[in-house]
Amino acid sequence: MLCCQSVGFLIGVVVGLAMAASVVAAIRLLRPPRVVSDEVRGLQTALHAANGMLPDLRRGLSEDSARKVTGHLLTLTQASAVALGDKRRVLAFEGLGHDHHHAGDELIKITAPAREDRLHVESRLACEHPDCPLGAVIAAPLLVAGELVGSFVALYARGHRITPNDTRTAAEAASLVSAQLELNAMDEQAERLARAELRALRAQISPHFIYNALAAIAGYIHSNPDEARDLLTEFAEFTRYAFRSQRPYVTLADELGYVEKYLRLERARFGERLQVRLQVEPEVLPVVVPVLSLQPLVENAVRHGVERRGFGRIEIVGRHLDHDVELRVTDDGVGMDAERAATVLAGQGGGVGIANVQARLLAIFGPGYGLELRSEPDRGTTVTMTLPKFRAGVRAA
């Protein structure tokens, strides 16, 4: 419901802007060029101010983000001063009266905090400072998922009479701020889901693989102790990478390094019966991916494509597609029918972490990205991962 509300609001904003553009076009036909130019410039200024707020508000409501957007809100509303606050105090203030109105003040010193259901309008500011130049005040609620999280306050110079246009502008500015804060809440919710899925995947690191890897290492202790030592080091680094906390994202280069350690441990068991072809374009190596996103796909290919027959070939391909990246893991194993492939991707059984990876990709990058699984009986399986080259807030640790 939260997502639908946010999308609906954004669609409303886009439609509103389109309607505004249509009105401007009509005015251009009916009025002299000078008047039209002023109105166009006013619309452009407002759009520029609105656009300037968006990146900072997507990081949530804080003193830092509030300080960065109050200037844009001042331009957008044409008020004498503006303030952003949480439920109790002022986070940022800009405009007339800034010499005695500051961040950290109790919101009640400027106006009664906004209520969830309506704007609060005061015709006279009750300020203790004898030379305060401000008079009328509008406080508009900031809502996220229907809950009050703060207030937007527009203040006007003494003698200014609040008009319906002032009230409407303040309400629309508050709605714009609320929409961005709601998107931030959605981002945080998606991040929490992705972290929960990562913890779940770490908890299910295949005991089957761990047993086989340690057994393979033990087999080299007497025949080739140096190789056993190297493999033990690889195993230690493998587990360290998988369980390193506070690292939800890595570069593709890091994830491929982890995949290579995994494959070396599997080769200790299969030897030449496991063939691997790696073909990744250098341009995509710096791309940021969720940690443990490619390795489970490769492990799935080994377990279901190689282990069942005792031999096989795996191909890992990475290439760039305009603004996206495509990673493909293919095996020549036993495969499955289309119905079975759909149930595996949906997490209804089978596959090492495929559904987990899919859930995290969708939570982080949204629809349009994620996994596609294609398979045919006795012909093998291909899992294709598509993700963007860049996504705001997704950075490698």
Helix, strand or coil for residue 230?
A: helix
Cα–Cα distances in Å, from 343 out to 28, 84, 204, 358?
A: 58, 49, 19, 13
Domain ranges of the chain: 2-187, 207-388
Q: How many CB atoms lie within 10 A of CB 390?
A: 10
Closest C-alpha among 201, 195, 156, 180 to residue 66: 180
**Phi, psi angles (nearest 5°) of residue 71:** -60, -40
* CATH code linked to domain 2-187: 3.30.450.40
pLDDT at res. 110? 64
User: Which residue, among 112, 92, 113, has the nearest Cα to 102 in the 3D structure?
Assistant: 92
The C-alpha atoms of residue 128 and residue 160 are separated, in whole angstroms, by 19
Question: pTM higher than 0.75, yes or no?
Answer: no
Q: What pLDDT score does 192 carry?
A: 54
| Contact in structure between 292 and 242 (CB atoms under 8 Å) | yes
pLDDT score recorded for residue 112: 60
Residue 392, token pair as written in the block: 């705001």
**Superfamily (CATH H level) for 207-388:** Histidine kinase-like ATPase, C-terminal domain (3.30.565.10)
Say which amino acid occupies 313.
R
Sign of CA dihedral 366, 368, 370, 375: positive
- For residue 389, give both structure tokens: 């080259």
DSSP state of 394: -
Contacts 24+ apart (CB under 8 A), 350-353: 350/304, 351/300, 351/304, 352/206, 352/296, 352/299, 352/300, 352/303, 353/201, 353/204, 353/292, 353/296, 353/297, 353/299, 353/300
Gap between the Cα atoms of 207 and 5, Å rounded:
43
Position 374 scores a pLDDT of: 92
Residue indicated by tokens 């056993």: 228
- pLDDT score at 42: 47
> What is residue 101's predicted lDDT score, i.e. its pLDDT?
83
**What does the pLDDT read at residue 367?**
85
Contact 6, 182 (CB under 8 A): yes
Contact criterion met (CB below 8 Å) for 295 and 239:
no
Classify 371 in phi/psi space as left (phi over 0), alpha (psi -120 to 50) or beta: beta
Burial class (CB in 10 A: 0-12, 13-18, 19+), 272: exposed
Three-state DSSP at 270 gives helix
Give the model's pLDDT for residue 58.
62
Q: Which residues contact 191 (CB under 8 A, 6 or more apart)?
A: 248, 363, 364, 393
Helices (H), 144-302: 164-203, 207-223, 225-243, 252-270, 295-301
- Tokens describing residue 177: 């701020």
* Alpha-carbon gap, residue 233 to 211, rounded angstroms: 16
Instruction: Give the residue ranges of the chain where pLDDT is below 70.
Output: 1-59, 108-117, 145, 183-208, 242-247, 347-352, 397
Q: What is the dihedral of CA 355, 243, 289, 259, to 10 degrees?
A: -90
